[in-house]
Amino acid sequence: MTAKKKYRRAIVYMRRALRVHDNTALWFAQKEAEEVIPIMCLSPDKRYEKDTPRRRFVTASMWDLEKSLRRLGSSLTVRRGDPTIEIPQAAVDYEADAVFAVRGCDPATAKRDQRIDVALKKAARSWIALDDRVLIPPAKITTGKGEPYRVFTPYYRTWLERQELITPELPGIRSLHTPSIGEGLAHHIEQPSETGGESAALRRWRDFLKSGINSYKRSRDLPAIDGTSILSPHLALGTLSIRKVYWDIQESKKSADPSSRENIDAFLREIVWREFYYQIIASFPHAAHGAFNEAADDIAWSTNRKIFDAWCGGETGYPFVDAGMRQLAKEGWIHNRVRMLVASFLTKDLHINWQWGEKYFMENLVDADVASNNGGWQWVAGTGTDASPWFRVFNPTTQAKKFDPKGDYVRRYIPQLKEIPGMSIHEPWRLSETEQLQAGFLLGRDYPQRIVDHSIQRLEALEMYRAGFSRRDS
């Protein structure tokens, strides 16, 4: 005899959890409710209606989820509007007793969840938020004094010591009973031609685990090759379970040789960086809208919109920087090494506030994630926790020669320069007009002149930072 379930009907708010495998909210909802209604709430923001890499990625992921749900006897119901209004209203409209969701770790999501919780309580419904986005919830990694960590290395050591807190993957869901109710995905979004979502995430992870992770440590810094996992979009949108990644890693280490284990540990360390940034933004909410090191709020940034637009468009005249920004526009993704360079260039060569760049990335990256994006930008800008020192300024040409020695990455995204031989591609301004024409381009016509001189801007940046920090000290 089957035990009676706690709820007759439950909604699962599928935000940033677009998968069936190891989905905490979905799994516990089907365990505790007789009927389960998976729901997505689409933002009314018109920016997300444009045909961008991010929109295509989200659309493909939603349709892939729809296919997975149909195999379980379910489907995806869609609401459009403000989730703090639509999710409670959906509970009333569909006569659901409870709403399950993955708990958000950033301050803005926590505030939205609180508003949803209050509205559901008024309607005599339950709000059940479950940990799922990180391996170890932020509050469970603290110093000996019970305080959150501010520096990565000690956090990392403690995290490694507390891996027993990581829960196993959940069993697969065999079926879902979902009533025919509400508007389906097809009513709102046309099915795309490309594939994506959970299916693509699992394929990518299997391939990387089989052939990429064993050389990760030495190949991850070279943007011209496929040397990283490129899982960040899937982890950000929740099309791949972070627990699955962790437990697959642990299993692969059992048969790995010492060299492979070293590479696997390097990859795991990057996952812990992601966990660290979630802890920072959850424990220090002010970092979500300003500098973690509040003294950095006094830096007198430039507000030159024209020069910012040149950075956004990949028109700075520095090929390695421009290749990165053009990759972002084309693919909605940038190699991590290049992210650090373009961020440094914006803040320390163009002297523009890191928050402008952070916002631009959040609007355009397919792996847009508040914690990781904010943490990365503040690290480079020298305003955050465990940050790169403010006086460390990346030289865009030196970085290009080191990490793109053959110029293949630049040639891929700036084809106008593809005929420049060797490392000269990273310094086209050093070529004479005759040499430029021989390579099939001309500065100022086919590719822009440098908008700034790095050697001059570096010195001005140091003074700008020094003055900003000294204001708070005085």
270 is catalytic: yes
> Collapsing DSSP states into helix, strand and coil, what is residue 368?
coil
Q: Which of 127, 333, 354, 356 is catalytic?
A: 354
DSSP conformation class of 274:
H
What are the tokens at 202?
A: 């699992």
Cα–Cα nearest to 171, from 321, 273, 372, 31: 31
Q: Which of 32, 34, 301, 395 is catalytic?
A: 301
Q: Which of 32, 336, 395, 427 is catalytic?
A: 336
169 is catalytic: no
273 is catalytic: yes
Helices (H), 127-231: 152-161, 197-207, 216-219
23 is catalytic: no
In contact, 7 and 98? CB cutoff 8 Å: yes
**DSSP readout, 397-425?**
HHHHHHHSTT-HHHHHH-GGGTTS-GGGG
CB under 8 Å to 293, separation ≥6 — which residues? 383, 384, 385, 387
27 is catalytic: no
What are the tokens at 19?
A: 């998968």
Q: Which of 27, 159, 356, 377 is catalytic?
A: 377
CA atoms of 170 and 351, how far apart (whole Å): 48
Q: Which of 127, 159, 273, 390 is catalytic?
A: 273
Buried b (16+ CB within 10 A) or exposed e, 42-75: beeeeeeeeebbbbbbbbbbbbbbbbbbeebebb
> What Rg do the C-alpha atoms of the chain give, in angstroms?
24
377 is catalytic: yes
Q: Which of 32, 34, 270, 427 is catalytic?
A: 270
Question: Which residues form the catalytic set?
Answer: 270, 273, 301, 336, 354, 377
